Amino acid sequence: MKKCEESIPLLHFSLFFIFLFCPLVFSELPSNQRTTMIGLSNLLNKTDLSWNISKDPCSWKGVTCSSGNYSITEISLSGFSLSSSDFLSSLCRIDSLMSIDVSNNALTLIPEDFIKGCGEIGGLERLNISRNRLVGPLPTFQGFVGLKFLDLSFNSLNGNISLQLDGLIALKSLNLSGNKFNGLIPTNLGKAMVLEQLELSVNGFEGGIPDQIMGYQNLTLIDFGENKLSGPVPDRIKDLSKLEVLILSSNKFSGQIPAAISNIRTLSRFAANQNNFKGTVPSGITRFLKNLDLSYNKLSESIPSDMLSPSNLQSVDLSYNLLKGSIPSNISPSLVRLRLGSNSLDGPIPSSVFGKLQKLMYLELDNNSLTGLIPPDLGSCLSLALLNLAGNNLNGTLPGQLGNLSRLQVMKLQSNVLVGEIPVEIAQLQTLSTLNISWNLLNGSIPSSISSLRYLTNMNLQGNHLSGSIPNDISGLDSLLELQLGGNQLTGKIPRMPASLQIALNLSSNHLVGPIPFTFSLLTGLEVLDLSNNQLTGEIPTFLTEIRSLTRLVLSNNQLSGIIPEFGSWLTLDVKGNDHLINATTSNTSPKSAKKGKSVTTALLIGFAAALFTVGVVTGLAMSISRRYYRVNDEQPQSAEDLPPPSPPQVIQGNLLTANGIHRSNIDFTKAMEAVAYSKNITLKTRFSTYYKAIMPSGSSYFVKRINWSDKIFQFGSHDKFWRELEVLGKLSNSNVMTPLAYVLSVDNAYLFYEFSPKGTLFDVLHGSLENALDWASRYSIAVGVAQGLSFLQGCTPGPILLLDLSSRNIMLKSLKEPQIGDIELCKVIDPSKSTGSLSMVAGSVGYIPPEYAYTMRVTVAGNVYSFGVILLELLTGKPAVSEGTELAKWALSNSVRQEKWDHIFDPNISRTSIAIRSQMLQVLKVALGCVNVSPEARPNMKNVLRMLLNAR
Ligand SMILES: *[C@@H]1O[C@H](CO)[C@@H](O)[C@H](O)[C@H]1NC(C)=O
Ligand SMILES: *[C@@H]1O[C@H](CO)[C@@H](O)[C@H](O)[C@H]1NC(C)=O
Ligand SMILES: *[C@@H]1O[C@H](CO)[C@@H](O)[C@H](O)[C@H]1NC(C)=O
Ligand SMILES: *[C@@H]1O[C@H](CO)[C@@H](O)[C@H](O)[C@H]1NC(C)=O
Ligand SMILES: *[C@@H]1O[C@H](CO)[C@@H](O)[C@H](O)[C@H]1NC(C)=O
């Protein structure tokens, strides 16, 4: 049974009553511990723990006993949605406890009794209350003389830290990351000074690194990342002679990188990225390191020649600095990752070193001023998965040896001055997913063997001198999402394209001829199609109007003729420079088409007048009279589309799920099935479902959503199982989640009933004909509402409800301020293993899919946070998730590197209205950028996202 957090009332219990009725046959556990545990099991009865009190507590889930079962040593109640802290104090009666873990719950406070009671358990070594909802200041820990591990990370604790932890004389590991602490870095961390691990990241700590920290000589790990710390890093840091990890990322530290770091023999990881460090990279800094990240600072001058050579070195990131000079040629064979992008490095890429670099997986040297050839021996770097040399001045040809890189997934060589042909060896890169060699001087034709790249998702060859025709077998690239071939000299007709295309198909500015092929009707997921500046002829096919995903269609400067079909209002159409195109009749459905409509009416009137003239006035009159007589008949559905009257689907089973009496009396299955028989009742199609509007006999409207029972990717299993899943979902109650009210099963479809949302989807309101209808107050309220719905879904027990396809097309608006998340059942009923193998086919819409899905092939909580971040960006920028082939998230991330640019990101119509609004938007943007972080671990959880959004108010 699935329940969602909010309130889990705890039963009051009568200890002895229960006790008497439990035969105690086996346990050797002392009776006081048994009693305590039975009491606890009653306090927690309403949760998902399901402890069986007629069994030995040592066998209960989360309970660990000493060998021989003489006493309980560990209690772990992680992830049970516990929201009341009442039970905590009763744990303290078990004086043999060594470890208490109540992480991943919804606790809001640590009761005083708990501190007092458990403080007396001398053997208690570990206390874990991380990932709860604790608020207020850090409590003062008294007693706890044996406590070694204290984890309070990811709560909402605030205030300064002074002496609250000083009594913890055994403390070895302290984790306070992800709270709202402020003030100076605490220095009283256990009088005995035995601390080994100190994690304070993601808080609001200010000031410098205090000298007293260097007194904790046993420290092996310091994580101060993501605070507001400033000033230089003291040289005395070298006194921490056992330090293994030092993280200072995302603060305001300044001054030089302390050369003294290189004296710490134990230090293996140093991260000081995203600060204001200046000056040179000290020589010898990598002497003992495995991992160094100094990216996003202002480091200048050249890279020390010994920097990359130490034999333990695994990863170096110096990207986004101001480094000059050439790349050192002495590179350690142990190196796995080298990132030197976005500096001012020049000179050649060192050659004859890559043969030795058998571990190198990531090589990024992009956006520098490197010259010379791409070294052919790069082809011997057999572990290479990512090669990015884009944005340099590299010349010469593309070496065929690169075809040996059998593990390469991403090849980016765009914006260089490479010449010659695309080597046929490229077809050997069997794991390649991204190929970008655009904006070079490549010539010759596109090798047809390229179609053997089964995993290729993005191919960009635009802006070269490629000639010949597009290979016919290009349709074999059945993972391809984006194809950019614009700005070349390609000739011939357009062949069939891969049906998997989604992001963009760009064939513009070539010499292509012939008609827009009929096979384009298969591109049902395509968002942008650009065929401009070619010599295409024939009509604009009407099937293009049925590609519902299409948002931009560019056909300008061709020789197309005939009538322009009528496109949905969400589509931007460019047809200029086609002299023989005629505008079609349009109704006044949207402001955009209204203008078109007018000139067309004129054209039709002229045509009609001519017809009257030839056929004769009398016939004309007779026609109009007869039409008037038969008007009654015309009222029947006579259009070809609806004849003969469709028969409604046959109901196999129908059930009400809602307990709400109004819905129960309104919903009429027969009426609903009549409504779904008519396509005119379709109000929305999403990737997996079709929404119909059904008006019930009572006059109220409902959404009836059809999912195709017979589609092989759905796994309904038995009708019974489906019903059980739906019953669970039907019990969810949150005003921002669309919960099913009822369902009907027919032979080949399942129909779910929902409350009607008169405003349509967020996508339509934001990017459709209603553009600019949403002011900031509405957008903010939508952001908060969706966040509330998502954190509700993610807080469900026994596990979070994940969304397979979270996008602005799946957010319905009850009003311009009340969003509802739709399609929540998809994760339950879709079986990705039955899809065509590409996760993007099932896991969401392009633009909302987090980058890691490409590797993990698994829908995750953090993945949903990413998709939500994209929705926030849509609200902030007014732009769709993908425009002109660029993903909004990537665009926003790259434009947000320097904060002064943030203003350019916003929808100008909104951000210019007031300073207060602008500052609120800035805060929401910070949240959005956090959500779309490329690293899933770095994304905030929904609870924190919601909190941050509410704080932005
Ligand atoms: C736990 O609660 C359920 C009802 O919520 C009740 O039926 C059951 O008897 C309770 N168990 C105990 C051991 O109190
Ligand atoms: C609890 O354990 C007893 C004894 O092993 C068993 O008979 C009973 O079915 C169990 N109850 C539940 C609800 O699993
Ligand atoms: C301790 O209790 C558990 C669970 O009842 C049992 O599996 C285990 O054999 C017991 N160990 C000893 C040493 O009695
Ligand atoms: C506390 O629990 C969290 C999550 O359950 C876990 O990741 C973390 O390692 C634990 N901390 C300690 C100190 O055991
Ligand atoms: C078609 O309509 C557009 C405006 O929607 C107008 O600019 C264009 O001139 C019209 N073309 C013709 C052939 O009437």
Closest Cα to atom 1 of ligand 4: 128
pLDDT greater than 80 at residue 595: no
Residue 830: its pLDDT value, please?
60
Answer whether residue 3 shows pLDDT above 60: no
Q: Is 445-624 a domain of CATH 3.80.10.10?
A: yes
Tell whether ligand 5 has an atom less than 6 A from the beta carbon of residue 598.
no
Q: Are 736 and 786 in contact (CB under 8 A)?
A: yes
Residue 286 reports pLDDT greater than 90: yes
Strand boundaries in 260-345, DSSP class E = 269-271, 276-279, 291-293, 298-302, 315-317, 322-324, 337-339
C-beta of 685 in contact with ligand 2 (< 6 A): no
* Average pLDDT score over residue span 231-244: 95
Q: Nearest C-alpha to atom 4 of ligand 4 is from which residue?
A: 103
Per-residue model confidence (pLDDT) at position 140: 95
Q: What is the pLDDT of residues 371-407, one digit of tens each?
A: 999 999 999 999 998 999 999 999 999 999 999 999 9
- Is the pLDDT at 538 greater than 80? The verdict is yes
For 760-953, CATH gives: 1.10.510.10
> pLDDT by residue (tens digit) across 415-461?
999 999 999 999 999 989 899 999 999 999 999 999 999 889 889 99
What is the model's pLDDT at position 714? 54
Q: Region 330-349: what's the mean pLDDT?
A: 95
Q: Is the CB of 677 under 6 A from ligand 1?
A: no
Ligand nearest to the CA of 584: 5
C-alpha span between 342 and 368 (Å, rounded): 6
Copy the structure tokens of residue 796. 């469900």
pLDDT tier at 615, thresholds 50, 70, 90: very low
> In Å, how far are 468, 506, 670 from 458, measured between CA atoms?
21, 12, 47
Ligand 1 center from residue 98 Cα (angstroms):
29
Q: Transcribe 158-195 into DSSP letters.
A: EE--SSTTTT-TT--EEE--SSEEEEEPP--S-TT---
Q: How confident is the model at residue 44 (pLDDT cuts 50, 70, 90)?
A: confident
pLDDT for position 171: 97
User: Which range among 465-474, 517-526, 783-792, 827-836 shows the weakest confidence by mean pLDDT?
Assistant: 827-836
Residues 738-766 have a mean pLDDT of 86
68 C-alpha to center of ligand 3: Å?
7
Instruction: Tell me what pLDDT residue 550 has.
Output: 82
Span 250-263, pLDDT tens digits: 899 999 999 999 99
Ligand 5 centre from 764 Cα, in Å? 25
Q: What are phi and psi of 711, to 5 degrees?
A: -60, 130
Contact 906, 926 (CB under 8 A): no
Give CA–CA dist 261/577, Å, rounded. 64
Chain centre distance of CA 279: 37
User: In the predicted model, is pLDDT for residue 820 greater than 90?
Assistant: yes
- For ligand 5, is residue 918 a contact (CB within 6 Å)? no
Tell me what pLDDT residue 717 has: 54
For 633-756, which CATH class? Answer: alpha beta
Ligand nearest to the CA of 12: 1
Predicted local distance difference test score (pLDDT) of residue 616: 32
Instruction: Return d(Cα 10, Cα 492) in angstroms, integer.
Output: 74
The stretch 50-63 carries a mean pLDDT of 87
What mean pLDDT do residues 477-492 have? Answer: 93
**pLDDT value at 141 more than 60:** yes
Ligand nearest to the CA of 70: 3
Residue 571 has pLDDT above 60, yes or no: yes
* Ligand lying closest to the C-alpha of residue 563: 5
pLDDT band at 7; cut points 50, 70, 90: very low
Residue 62 CA to ligand 4 centre (angstroms):
14
Average pLDDT, the chain: 84
Ligand 2 atom having least distance to the Cα of 55:
2
pLDDT digits (tens, 9 = 90+) for 296-311: 999 999 999 999 999 9
Catalytic residue among 151, 166, 805, 823: 805
Mean pLDDT of 52-58: 86
- CB of 451 closer than 6 angstroms to any ligand 5 atom: no
Q: What is the pLDDT of residue 584?
A: 65
Residue 693 in this model has a pLDDT that exceeds 50: yes
Nearest to 103 by CA among 154, 170, 139, 39: 154
Ligand 5 contacts CB of residue 897 (under 6 A) = no
Task: List all residues whose CB is within 6 A of at least one atom of ligand 4.
Answer: 78, 101, 103-104, 126, 128, 130-131, 149, 151, 173
C-beta atoms surrounding 630 within 10 Å? 11
Task: Give the model's confidence band at 872: pLDDT under 50 very low, under 70 low, under 90 confident, else very high.
Answer: very high
Q: Which residues line the pocket of ligand 3, CB cutoff 6 A?
A: 56, 58-59, 65, 67-69
Could you read off the pLDDT of 620-675 as tens digits, one per residue?
A: 333 332 332 222 232 333 333 334 456 777 777 788 888 788 888 889 888 898 88
d(CA 91, CA 115) in angstroms, rounded, equals 11
Mapped onto helix, strand or coil, the DSSP state of residue 55 is: coil
Domain positions in the chain? 445-624, 633-756, 760-953
Phi and psi for 421 in degrees, rounded to 5?
Answer: -95, 160
**pLDDT score at 704:** 94
Q: Is 293 a catalytic residue?
A: no
Give, using CA atoms, the residue closest to atom 6 of ligand 5. Answer: 596
Same topology between domain 445-624 and domain 760-953:
no
Ligand found nearest the CA of 11? 1
pLDDT of residue 586: 46
What is the Cα–Cα distance from 454 to 520, expressed in whole angstroms?
21
| Cβ atoms of 149 and 130 closer than 8 Å | no
Q: What pLDDT was estimated at residue 708?
A: 64
How far apart (Å, rounded) are the C-alpha atoms in residues 229 and 185?
Answer: 9
Write the CB contacts of 389 (distance below 8 Å, at least 6 apart in sequence): 349, 363, 365, 366, 370, 374, 412, 413, 416
Residue to probe by mutation, ligand 3, list 52, 56, 64, 72, most atoms within 8 Å of CB:
56
Task: State residue 769's pLDDT score.
Answer: 64
Spacing, Cα 54 to ligand 2 middle (Å): 7
Ligand 5: centre distance to CA 573 (Å): 12
Task: Give every CB contact of residue 233 below 8 A, 6+ residues apart in sequence.
Answer: 209, 248, 253, 255, 257, 258, 272
Closest residue by Cα to atom 14, ligand 3, is 68
| Ligand 2 proximity of 54 Cβ (cutoff 6 Å) | yes
Ligand 4 atom, smallest distance to 78 CA = 5
Residue 602 confidence (pLDDT) above 50: no
Structure confidence at residue 844 as a pLDDT band (50, 70, 90): low
CA atoms of 304 and 400, how far apart (whole Å):
32
Ligand 1 pocket, residue 42 CB under 6 Å? yes
